[in-house]
Amino acid sequence: MGRQECAVPLHPPLPRPQLHPVQRRSESVRQAGRRWTLATLAIPAVVVLAVVPAARAAQPYDGKTITIIVGYKPGGGYDRTARLLARHLPKHIPGKPTIIVQNMPGANSIVAANHVYNLARPDGLTIGTFNRNLPLAQLTRVEGVRFDITKFAWIGSAASESTILTLHSDLPYKTLDDLRKAEKPIVIGTTGPGANTHDFPLLLKELLGFNFKIVSGYSSSADIMLAVERKEVDGRAGSYTSLRPFIDRGLVRPVVRARATEPGIEKLPVDEDLATAPRAKAIMALRSGPEIVGRPYVMPPGTPDALVKIVREAFVRVARDPELVDEATRAKMEIEYVSDVEALKIIREVLGQPRDVVDEFSKYIKFGD
């Protein structure tokens, strides 16, 4: 707001001078001196009393605790990202609030999204992060969805993600054709329908003919990786960010990716390029759509714009924070802020797909526990 001229005089108008006897005049001067001294002494107290509430109003997060609700159990990519942010965000929010992480798994994070949308108070103290594919759950009218994804108070995304499929490094398969001609099914562990760990390999199986057996029900991507290490399953799909540490360790090797790419996986074959039928290409493209919004972060609908703005600006700053970048690099994680505007643009494009494409897509992609 621009500066406004003050219509009230800064001081009371001085009285018109009058002549008095010397003694009376001296008494008047002493009285006046006392009055002005008291008035002058009172000014700092008034200023302090006025400034303290103003300072508190300018720092609404002073002494507060913000909770980040994660739609999966501890250990997976969404959880690791949330905990990384929780360690570094406070110093970028005026008032330096405490930030804690609460895990709320269920229905591939539909439970968490429903909670943030319907039950969390819009007081600026709740942030939600959930499955990037929830726009697809809304699009396909999944039972249990109790939110409109466009009506959250969007902060943005903490990363864009590239989905890849990895297989245990000990497996003998060298080419994509080997995956089609495998003598026995290659077992892929997943968290369940509606997650990229599940949907990406499912489409490779159904539309490209890969000989996969999809085993769902793992409660987090971390549990799937444990199963890979134990050789209970042969491989896992997921974001490159989550899988990169295991690739670098030599536990798994990347085989194929979706359309989004990152340095290090540019040369992997792309699922859509392997498909020949236009129908298959369209289904794969729709599944890939939300990947730009790789790690979505929102607040409950109705959260005051001023509070959303504070948190949104903190996300912008923390993504460039050298301490966070250093920790993320050491953990082989990527933090890249995607604005609320860009995230909502992508989501609305996904939600605006023609019904015939959606119906075809729904034959393959389901959400579930």
How do the domains of the chain map onto residue ranges?
65-160+293-362, 163-289
Q: Is the pLDDT assigned to residue 56 strictly greater than 70?
A: no
Provide the pLDDT for residue 368: 59
Q: Is the pLDDT assigned to residue 4 strictly greater than 50?
A: no
66 pLDDT tier (thresholds 50, 70, 90) = very high
Provide the pLDDT for residue 249: 95
Provide the pLDDT for residue 273: 95
Query: Mean pLDDT over residues 278-305, rounded?
Result: 94
Provide the pLDDT for residue 20: 37
DSSP string of 205-230, one letter each residue:
HHHH---EEEE---SSHHHHHHHHHT
357 dihedral zone (left: phi>0; alpha: psi -120 to 50; beta): alpha
Q: Is the pLDDT assigned to residue 301 strictly greater than 70?
A: yes
Please indicate whether residue 281 or residue 26 has the higher confidence score (pLDDT): 281
Per cent of the chain over pLDDT 90 is 71
Separation of alpha carbons 298 and 318, rounded Å: 16
280 pLDDT tier (thresholds 50, 70, 90) = very high
Provide the pLDDT for residue 221: 87
Q: Is the pLDDT assigned to residue 163 strictly greater than 50?
A: yes
Separation of alpha carbons 311 and 321, rounded Å: 15
Q: Is the pLDDT assigned to residue 119 strictly greater than 50?
A: yes
Please indicate whether residue 242 or residue 21 has the higher confidence score (pLDDT): 242
Separation of alpha carbons 351 and 289, rounded Å: 10
DSSP string of 47-107, one letter each residue:
HHHHHHHHHHHH-TTTT-EEEEEESS-TTSHHHHHHHHHHHHSGGGSTT--EEEEEE--SG
Q: Is the pLDDT assigned to residue 6 strictly greater than 90?
A: no
For 180-198, the pLDDT digits (tens) are 999 999 999 998 888 889 9
Query: Mean pLDDT over residues 310-320, rounded?
Result: 98
Domain 163-289 in the same topology as domain 65-160+293-362: yes
CATH fold for the domain made of 65-160+293-362:
D-Maltodextrin-Binding Protein; domain 2 (3.40.190)
Query: Mean pLDDT over residues 205-227, rounded?
Result: 94
Provide the pLDDT for residue 58: 65
Separation of alpha carbons 119 and 100, rounded Å: 18
* CA distances (Å), origin 157, targets 78, 132, 319, 339, 356: 11, 9, 11, 7, 29
Query: Mean pLDDT over residues 46-55, rounded?
Result: 49
Token code pair at residue 171: 């497996």
For 345-357, the pLDDT digits (tens) are 999 999 999 999 9
- CA 335 to chain CA centroid, Å, is 10
Provide the pLDDT for residue 253: 97
Per cent of the chain over pLDDT 70 is 84
Q: Is the pLDDT assigned to residue 209 strictly greater than 50?
A: yes
59 pLDDT tier (thresholds 50, 70, 90) = confident
* Domain 163-289: CATH class, spelled out: alpha beta
Query: Mean pLDDT over residues 283-292, rounded?
Result: 91
Query: Mean pLDDT over residues 135-154, rounded?
Result: 96
Provide the pLDDT for residue 203: 96
**How many residues does this entry show for the chain?**
369
Burial of 357 (0-12, 13-18, 19+ CB in 10 A): middle
Provide the pLDDT for residue 17: 35
Question: In the sheet that 252-257 helps form, which strands lie side by side, from edge to edge?
Answer: 212-215, 186-189, 235-239, 163-168, 252-257
Mean pLDDT of the chain: 86
Q: Residue 171: count other Cβ atoms within 10 Å of its Cβ.
A: 17
Token code pair at residue 119: 């039950």
